[in-house]
Amino acid sequence: FQEIALISEFTVAENIFLEGYPTGRTGSIDWKKIRADSAALFNRIGFNVDPAARTGSLPVSQQQMVEIARALAHEARVVVMDEPTSSLTPNEVSLLFTVIRRLAALGIAVVYVSHKLDEVFEIADTVTVLRDGRHISTKPIGEHTNDTLIQDMIGRRIDNLFPRQRGAAGSKVALSVEKLSTAKKLIDVSFEARAGEVLGFFGLMGAGRTELAKAIVGYDPIISGTVTVDGQRLAPHDTRSGVRLGIGLLTEDRKSEGLMGELPVYQNASLASLGAFARLGFVDKAKEHQ
């Protein structure tokens, strides 16, 4: 569950029954039954996903629901979730927890692996702590506090775990977005972010957060409006323009959109700045590695 194990080009229903498609009396695949059974599985966990949708077009949170439905299709009695919320928003986490509770109500055991204490306290009945590969404790969650759980995790107490720090936003406008509209959900969006400021965006799943991020870096086509960085305007639908202006995107789907897993770390780190290591079309590998 830490990484999505689905075929992005297949439909939702095809992924759910990938290990064995139901067949009809003639021996051919019964696509009508596959779609109907997929819809029934989503109904069991209280979540609505179109079985005919291409899996790669779904957000990470919905792809997780496809994996849960696939586990149910194979009558899994134990579902292991390894850091399932690493790419989810708070609203999507809440939705996932609702589905986990439904799984428990169906008699399915859920092993939830996480280092996020607030999630453990919200969803777990019993918590087991491991440290350096060794079992430290197993207790009902009600016998733990934040302090005792942290102490079990690291072997000592930590005082003042999260000291309050204030930002230092200046008066200079670093990013200005005016009346931005795109073909994907955004309509007349305007805001400013100042140098030194952390500006947060919140919304329900499908509200347009991801589309806004991609439009700002030049990935999604802009129908109208402008994006300006330090007084320089972004060229619409031009990621190279975004890179030149100093905009970086940490995508929600790191594996398929943010990294190239077959390349080493240093090459991933330099992908957006190869011009600094190249001459006449050839990359200076030694300089890039350095």
List the CATH number of the domain containing 211: 3.40.50.300
For residues 37 and 113, state if they share a domain. yes
For residues 60 and 81, state if they share a domain. yes
More confident residue, 167 or 25: 25
Classify burial at 185, counting beta carbons within 10 Å of its beta carbon; exposed 0-12, middle 13-18, buried 19 or more.
middle
pLDDT at residue 188 in the model: 92
pLDDT at residue 164 in the model: 64
Range from 11-15, 194-198, 252-256 carrying the lowest mean pLDDT: 252-256
Select from 83, 99, 124 the last residue of a domain.
Answer: 124
Measured CA to CA, the distance from residue 260 to residue 247 in angstroms comes to: 19
* pLDDT, mean of residues 253-274: 81
- CA dist 54 → 35, 87, 253, 287 (Å): 13, 20, 16, 41
Query: DSSP code of 257?
Result: I
In one-letter notation, the amino acid at residue 241 is: S
pLDDT band, very low/low/confident/very high, at 281 (cuts 50, 70, 90): confident
Short-list 134, 7, 2, CA closest to 58 = 7
Per-position DSSP letters for 76-138, written without gaps between them = -SEEEEESTTTT--HHHHHHHHHHHHHHHHTT-EEEEE-S-HHHHHHH-SEEEEEETTEEEEE
For residues 33 and 67, state if they share a domain. yes
Residue 160 covered by a domain: no
For residues 199 and 287, state if they share a domain. no
For residues 248 and 263, state if they share a domain. no
pLDDT at residue 20 in the model: 82
Measured CA to CA, the distance from residue 211 to residue 260 in angstroms comes to: 22
Q: How many domains does the chain have?
A: 3
For residues 235 and 279, state if they share a domain. no
In one-letter notation, the amino acid at residue 100 is: I
For residues 249 and 270, state if they share a domain. no
Boundaries of domain holding 88: 12-124
Helices (H), the chain: 12-16, 31-44, 60-73, 90-105, 117-123, 146-154, 209-216, 239-244, 265-270, 285-289
Residue 137 covered by a domain: no
pLDDT digit string (tens) for 74-108? 888 999 988 888 777 788 888 889 989 998 998 99
For residues 232 and 264, state if they share a domain. no
pLDDT at residue 168 in the model: 63
Residues 48, 45, 10, 265, CA torsion sign: positive
For residues 237 and 286, state if they share a domain. no
Residue 168 covered by a domain: no
Residue 5 covered by a domain: no
pLDDT at residue 18 in the model: 86
Residue 188 covered by a domain: yes
Residue 166 covered by a domain: no
Let me know: does 49 contact 26? Beta carbons within 8 Å: no
Select from 124, 141, 159 the last residue of a domain.
Answer: 124
* pLDDT, mean of residues 27-51: 88
pLDDT digit string (tens) for 148-203? 998 898 887 766 555 666 666 667 899 999 999 988 788 999 999 998 888 888 87
Short-list 27, 30, 31, 28, CA closest to 11 = 31
pLDDT digit string (tens) for 40-70? 988 888 888 899 999 998 888 889 889 989 9
Percent of the chain with pLDDT over 90: 28
For residues 23 and 69, state if they share a domain. yes
For residues 25 and 42, state if they share a domain. yes
The pair of three-digit structure tokens given for residue 178, joined into one six-digit string: 């005016």
For residues 273 and 229, state if they share a domain. no
Residue 159 covered by a domain: no
pLDDT digit string (tens) for 189-248? 999 999 888 888 887 667 888 889 888 888 888 899 999 999 888 887 788 888 888 888
